[in-house]
A = this chain, B = another copy of it.
Amino acid sequence: MTFSVTVLGSNSAIPTLQRNPSAHLLNANERLFLIDCAEGTQLQLRRYKIHFQRIKHIFISHLHGDHFYGLIGFLTSLHLLGRKDDMHLYAHPELQQIIDLQLAASRTTLRYSLIFHPLLSDRKELILEAERLKVFTFPLLHSIPTNGFLFLEQHSSTQRNRQPRSYAYCADTIYTEDIIQYFRGVDLLYHEATFLHNMVDSAHEKFHSTALEAATIAVKAGVKRLLIGHFSARYDELQPLLDEARAVFPDTELAEDGKKIDICLSENNPL
């Protein structure tokens, strides 16, 4: 009964040899969900031995390149490798045109159905209810329209004594307490922490957050664990970001490429 998040990229803005930009993989009871897809994500999936043809749903938080430039290559590779299964893509509307134009330029017709679900709302919204998972989207506050995602496990009637597990993904956002309502009490919150707090002005100017701010959101939302990432390439060493966050919220971990975080079943989960 796996419920785990694998970090496929932890850098902001640009890929480096140490850290790829944003992408996460959620394994919810052996169903795989890809969240953001920076350039190089398909190689990260290979590197961490993830059977990527099993991914059936992709969620793109916003259309800054470090969150989606790897998508067209991933979709095309799935096609070239013989995929037949439908793929569901949740993203802002412009992405459909970007994909269509690139497929047209190469005269490619995908062998599988790519089903596009535009993110249109500026409120919390249920966007997927699969057999054992609900996925909600909610607005963040960034320089372009940006969405977070909440993944909430659903149990069958025989599993009522277990608490459903949950994961919230808060991609690029400036510090705002408005978002706390969307993921109160989750088992694991990913929140961006692009900068140390000594660069808070720079962070705000770019609609980003600091490690201290991410931790403050975690405290105020009463989450169980915090994962910080989307680190500026200026930081070779990430320990100061971790220390800063842990001073406010001890149960913090660094997003590091390849790191897998398991969320265990419990019988007294507060959600």
Contacts and interface: CB of A to CB of B under 8 A. Distances in A.
Interface of A: 13-17, 39-40, 42-43, 46-47, 63-65, 69-70, 72-73, 76-77, 80-81, 92, 94-95, 97-98, 101-102, 104-108, 143-144
A55 B122 CA distance: 42
B143 A64 contact: no
A69 B64 contact: no
A81 to B, nearest CB: 7
A18 B42 CA distance: 13
Contacts of A46: 16-17
Q: How many copies does the complex hold?
A: 2
A39 B70 contact: yes
22 contacts: A13-B80, A14-B42, A14-B80, A15-B42, A15-B43, A15-B73, A15-B77, A16-B43, A17-B43, A39-B39, A39-B70, A40-B43, A63-B102, A65-B72, A65-B106, A69-B73, A69-B76, A69-B102, A94-B101, A98-B98, A98-B105, A106-B144
A94 B105 contact: yes
B47 A17 contact: yes
Contacts of A72: 65, 69
Contacts of A92: 105
Given A39-B69, A97-B101, 19 more contacts: A13-B80, A14-B42, A14-B81, A15-B73, A15-B77, A16-B46, A17-B46, A17-B47, A39-B39, A39-B73, A63-B105, A65-B76, A65-B102, A65-B108, A69-B69, A69-B72, A69-B76, A98-B102, A106-B144
A97 to B, nearest CB: 6
Given A17-B43, A17-B47, A46-B17, A143 B102 contact: no
A97 B105 CA distance: 10
A72 B105 CA distance: 15
Contacts of A39: 39-40, 42, 69-70, 73
A22 to B, nearest CB: 13
A43 B92 CA distance: 27
Contact of A144 (B13, B47, B65, B107): B107
Contact of A65 (B73, B94, B97, B101): B73
Given A14-B81, A76-B65, A106-B64, A98 B101 contact: yes
